[in-house]
Chains A and B, each alone.
Chain A
Amino acid sequence: MHTEPTGGVSRREILGTGAATASMLAAPAMAAVTPDKAREADPPLVRVMLTVNGKPENLTLDARTTLLDMAREHLKLTGSKKGCDHGQCGACTMIVEGRRVNSCLSLAVMHDGDTITTIEGLGTPDKLHPMQAAFVRHDGYQCGYCTPGQIVSAVAMLEEVRSGAPSFVSPDLEHAEYSDTEVRERMSGNLCRCAAYPNIVAAIGDVHAGKKS
C-alpha cells in the first residue's frame, strides 16, 4: 500500500476499500474485512411465506434480500420504486400488516406470515383505486417515480388519521383531525423532487372528502 498522506490526513484514513464512499473515516473498519471472512459462502437461503396483494407467495431467498428487492426482483412487482435504498425517500413505501413501511429498510425474512400491499394491489390502469384516480386528476406527479410510494403512503396515512393517531403537528394528541397541515406533515417522508406537493395534497383531500360523504 503506497499512500501519501496529504495535509494532516493520516495513512489510515486514506487506506480504504473502493466501496468506502460513505465517509473516509469509515474506511478503516471496512478495510478490516479479512480474506477468510470474504471466502465464506452466501448466507443460507431462507424460506419466506407471505401474502402479497392477496396472493400467497412462497419464496426461497438470500437472507440479505430486502422486502423491496423481494418485490421488485423476485415477484417482478416493480411498481414499488427504489429511490435511495436507505429509508430516506419513501419511494419504496408498502403497507405491511396495515402500516406503511419503507420496504428498502426491512429484510424480507422478517415478514414471514405477513400481509403486504404494494401499489399493484391497490388498482390497475383499467380499475384505479380512488387515490390513484385522484393523483391523475390533480396531476399529483410528474416523472412518476415517487408516485407509487406517495399513493401507498397516502392510503395508509388516511387510515392513521382516521384511527386518531396524532402527529407532530396535531393540536390535540387525543383527537387527530384531518387537515392539509396534517397531510403535509405525515407525507413528509415521501420526497417528490418533481415537487407535485400541492397537487398531491389536493388529490389526498379529494379522497378524504369522498370517503366522508
Chain B
Amino acid sequence: MKFDKPAGPNPTDRMRILGKPFDRVDGAIKVAGQAPYSYEYHDIAPNAAYGVMVGAGIGKGRIATMDTRDAERAPGVLLVLTHRNAPKMFGQQKKQNTTSQESSEGSEEAKGAHAAPQLQGRDIKQHDEAVAFVVAETFEQATAAAHLVRIGYSAGKGRFSLTEGARNAKPNPEAEDAHVGDFDGAFAAAAVKVDVTYTTPNQSQAMMEPHATLAMWSGDQLTLHTSHQITHWSTEGVADTLGIPHDKVRCVCAYIGGGFGSKLEVYGDAVLSAVAAQKLGRPVKCALTRPQIFNHTTHRPPTIQRLQLAAGRDGRLLAMGHTTWTGDQEGARGELATEQSRLMYGGANRKLETYIATLDLPKGGSMRAPGEAAGLFALEGAMDELAEALDMDPVELRIVNDVQQDPTTQDKVRPFSDRKLVECMRQGAAKFGWDRRNRRPGQMRDGSLLIGHGMAGGIRNNMVKASGTRVTLQSGGRVLVETAMTDIGTGSYTINAQTAAEMLGVPLDRVSIKLGDSLFPKAAGSGGSWGGNSSTAGTYAACMALRTAIAARMGMPADAEFVDGQIRAGGRSIPLASAAANGPVVAEDTITYGDLEKTYAQASFAAHFCEVAVSAVTGEVRVRRMTSAFSAGRILNAKTARSQCLGGMTMGIGAALMEALQVDERFGYFANHDLAEYHVPVHADIPDLDVIFVDSLDTKSSPMKARGVGELGICGVGAAVSSAVANATGVRVRDFPITLDKLLPHLPKVA
C-alpha cells in the first residue's frame, strides 16, 4: 500500500482497541524471566562455545607484536582469532551522498552500509576495537585465556580533543546549512540579543543488555540471534562484512534489552561469533563486556554550539543563528545539532552552520534523538536567556515565535502537518502551575535548598520507513501477526497486536504476534522514532489486504465492516472465524510512502516544566518534579507511549545533571567505561513524572495518523532543567552536564 495522500476516515478511527492503555502482550513472559534475549538460547544451541572479545588497549596506532601461544594452549580454548587468521572482510563499498542525519539512517544505501569488518590488520583506529577473539568450552576459560593474549602496541598520535579539533573543523558534509535573509545585519541592528556558547559532552546509550550474539551455521546458511534494533540492517551488515549473499543470513532479534541507538550497528560480537562458529563447526556466542561497550560501540558525539538570537522588544525573533562544531572519525557524521533550529521558531534572518573535526575517538553514532537532544540544550537554553534579557515569560516568548510552516525552507511554502507546540506549552504550564513561578532568580528557598522553575520546548523530526507485515486468519478465528519489526522496549509487540485487533474487529487476546525474525516481512525496525508509526502502518496495510481477501472468499463486498468478531455488510453478518473454516487466510503487504514527508514539515512537539532544588551548601541539584506535554499524533497505546516519554524525560535529566564520557586525551578513550563511573539516573534521582498527551491526529504521516514518540521525551528536557537551575541560583551553566563543581564556585555565600 502506498501512502501518498493524507489519510481519510479509516477503521483505525474506531479506537476501540487502539489508543487504550493495554498491558503489554509480552509482559507476562518478561516479568517471569522467560523472554529469551540473544545470549539465552540454550534450547537451540546447547553446545554453544563461548567467545570473548579482546579490545585494543590504545586509541590509535598499530599492533607491534602479538603472542597468542599461551592463550591457545590454555585449558578449554578452541580458537584464537586475530588479524593473522581472520578471513578477509568487506566494508562499505562507496560513500553514500547523504545530506542529513535522517537519510544516513535511511533507505537508499551504499552496499555494505552496515558492514563492520573486524581483525583486518595491525592498524588500530579506536580503543577497544577487536584485536582478538578467544573461544573456549566455558565462559570462565575463554575469559581467562583472553587475558593471556599478549599484545605490544606502537601507539600513534591521535586527535582526541574537540576543543582543539574545532579550530580546523570543516563544514560537515552530512548537514544541510542554511542562510536566509541578512543574518549579520539583522543581528547587529536588533534591540535585544544573546550570543552564547554551549557545550555538550560525549554520552553513552548504556542500555542494560550488552550487545550479544549467538551464531550458528547449517551448511552455508548462517543464523544469528543477535541484539540489534533493525533486523535487516543486521542481516545485511553481517552478510556484506563476510561477503556472502543477504539471503544466506537469518537474524533473529526477538527480545532486545534496550538500544537507544547503540544497537543500530553491527559489532564484533556478531561478526566474530559468526566467523568462529564457521571455523569450529559449532555454535558460538558472545556478549560484549560492560567496559567494552563504552569504547567498542558507538556513542553520542560532543558538540560546541554558538547561539545568536536577536529579537525586538516584543520578543519576536529577528535573527536566529546556530553554529555547531562536532567531532567524529573520518567519514562519520558527528552530532548534527542544528536540526531542530530549522523548524522550531520563526525569524526572517537565519544562519545555520555545522562544522566537523576529525577525531580518533571511538566512532560516534545515534543516541536517542541524535541531533535534537544536544541541539535543544543550546537552542532552548538560549531562548531562556533571551526571555531573561527581554524580561519576558519564557512561555510567552515561545508562543510569539511559533510558526505554522517551515521557517527555513524559503523556495516553497511547506506547512506543518500538525503542529501543537503552543498547546503543549499551555497545557503543560497549567498542569505544572507555571503562573506561580518567580521570574527573578534566587528568590525561592526551602531551608538550605534553592528552588527554581524552568521550562523548555522540544521538537523531534518525524520520519517514516517502509514496513511489511503478514497477517493470518487461522482456523478457529485467531489472528497471527508476523513482521521483522523489533521491540526494544518500545511496545511494538503490543501496538501491532492492537492494530490487527482493531482492523479485524477481534479482541486483543485473539491475536498472536511474532516479531524480530528476518524470515518475516522486512520491516521498519526501531530507530529514529519511526518504528511505532511505520510498523503499525505496515500491519494496517496487511490487515486491509486480509479484509479484502476474506470478503472475497465470503462473497461480501469489499467495504464490509469487521467488528465484534463479525463481518458485516448490507444487513448480513457472518462470524469472522467462518472465513477460515476451510483453511487459513493469509495476506501480506508493505506500507510505502509518497512525498508527504517533503510537502509537509512533520515533527512531534513537547513542552517540559521542571522544578529543581539546589543545595546552597553543596551545589547538588535534584529534580523535584517535572510535567511534560507531548503532541505526537495519535497515541497508539496510552500506557506504553507514556512509558516511552518517562524514559526520555529521565534520560534528559541524566544528560542535564550527570552523563558525560570523560575523554582521556593521552590515550584517546573514554575512561569512565562502566556503570559505576558513567552515571545514569537511578531510582533516587527520579521523582514522579507527569506526562500529558495533547490530542492530535496527523493525517499526513501515515494511515495510523500517529508520529514518533520514542525520542520525543528527551527533546528539550535538559534545557528545562538548566533553566530551572538558573532560576534557582542565578547561575547559568552552559557546559553540560551541570555537575556541582560547575555550580559551587558561583553560588551565593551560605550565611
Contacts and interface: CB of A to CB of B under 8 A. Distances in A.
B292 A21 contact: yes
Given A38-B74, A79-B33, A86 B674 contact: yes
Contact of A17 (B23, B32, B147, B258): B147
B64 A139 contact: no
Nearest to B643: A139
A198 B70 contact: no
Interface stretch (A144-152, A158-166, A170-178): A144-152
Contacts of B646: 195-199
Interface residues of A, number: 92
Given A143-B257, A183-B683, A1 B152 contact: yes
B295 A21 contact: yes
Interface residues of B, number: 101
Contacts of B258: 142-143, 145, 193-194
B643 A196 contact: yes
A9 interface: yes
A181 B530 CA distance: 36
A201 B689 CA distance: 12
B409 interface: no
A64 B42 contact: no
B683 A184 contact: yes
Nearest to A69: B139
Nearest to B148: A38
A193 B164 CA distance: 32
Given A18-B132, A142-B644, A119 B33 contact: yes
B148 to A, nearest CB: 5
Interface stretch (B181-189, B202-210, B598-606, B729-737): B202-210
Nearest to A143: B489
Contact of B30 (A64, A89, A144): A144
A124 B10 CA distance: 39
Given A3-B64, A21-B128, A83-B208, A191 B31 contact: no
Contacts of B489: 141-144, 194
A17 to B, nearest CB: 6
Interface string B645-687: 0110111000000000000101100010111100011111011
B70 A35 contact: yes
Nearest to A189: B682
B676 A86 contact: yes
B75 A41 contact: yes
B399 to A, nearest CB: 29
A201 B683 CA distance: 8
A165 B450 CA distance: 32
B246 interface: no
B252 to A, nearest CB: 16
Given A31-B150, A79-B33, A144 B141 contact: no
A132 B32 CA distance: 7
Interface string B142-165: 011011111111111100000000
Interface stretch (B51-59, B166-174, B358-366, B496-504): B51-59
A132 B676 CA distance: 27
Given A38-B148, A85-B290, A17 B683 contact: no
A3 B154 CA distance: 4
B208 A192 contact: yes
Interface in B35-77: 35-37, 39-40, 42, 54-58, 64-65, 70-71, 73-76
Nearest to A84: B290
Nearest to A15: B152
A82 B24 CA distance: 23
Contact of A38 (B70, B143, B292): B70
B140 interface: yes
B417 interface: no
Given A79-B33, A187-B683, A195-B646, A2 B154 contact: yes
Contacts of B141: 42, 62
B243 interface: no
A4 B156 CA distance: 8
B152 A3 contact: yes
Contact of B32 (A7, A79, A81): A79
A160 to B, nearest CB: 15
Given A143-B488, A194-B647, A185 B683 contact: yes
A33 to B, nearest CB: 7
Interface in A13-27: 14-24, 27
Contacts of B144: 64
Q: Which of A9, A14, A91, A141 has the most CB of B within 10 A?
A: A14
Contacts of A141: 27, 30-31, 489
A76 B54 CA distance: 26
Contacts of A51: none
B467 interface: no
Contact of A143 (B34, B42, B55, B209): B209
A89 B208 contact: yes
A118 B33 CA distance: 9
Interface in A51-101: 62, 64-65, 69, 72-73, 76-86, 88-89, 91
Contacts of B208: 81, 83, 89, 91, 143, 145-146, 191-194
Contacts of B36: 78
Contacts of B23: 136-137, 139
B31 A147 contact: yes
A193 B674 contact: no
B257 to A, nearest CB: 3
B413 interface: no
B688 interface: yes
B345 interface: no
Contacts of A5: 155
Given A64-B144, A195-B686, A42 B674 contact: no
A17 B151 contact: yes
B147 A19 contact: yes
A79 B34 contact: yes
B131 interface: yes
Contacts of A194: 208, 258, 489, 643, 647
**A35, A145, A191 interface centre (most CB from chain B within 10 Å):** A145
Given A17-B149, A83-B209, A139-B640, A2 B64 contact: yes
A85 B289 contact: yes
B71 to A, nearest CB: 8
A129 to B, nearest CB: 8
Contact of B155 (A3, A42, A79): A3
A142 to B, nearest CB: 3
B260 interface: yes
Nearest to B140: A64
Contacts of B629: none
Contacts of B143: 64
B683 A190 contact: yes
Given A14-B58, A22-B291, A119-B32, A197 B650 contact: yes
Given A39-B74, A145-B209, 8 more contacts: A1-B152, A3-B152, A6-B666, A83-B208, A122-B32, A136-B23, A199-B643, A199-B646
Interface of A: 1-9, 14-24, 27, 30-31, 33, 35, 38-39, 41-42, 62, 64-65, 69, 72-73, 76-86, 88-89, 91, 118-120, 122-126, 128, 132-133, 135-137, 139, 141-148, 151, 180, 183-185, 187-201
12 contacts: A16-B57, A19-B54, A42-B140, A77-B33, A89-B208, A126-B28, A143-B488, A188-B682, A191-B208, A193-B651, A194-B489, A201-B688
- Which are the 4 A-B pairs with shortest beta-carbon distances? A79-B33, A145-B257, A143-B489, A142-B489
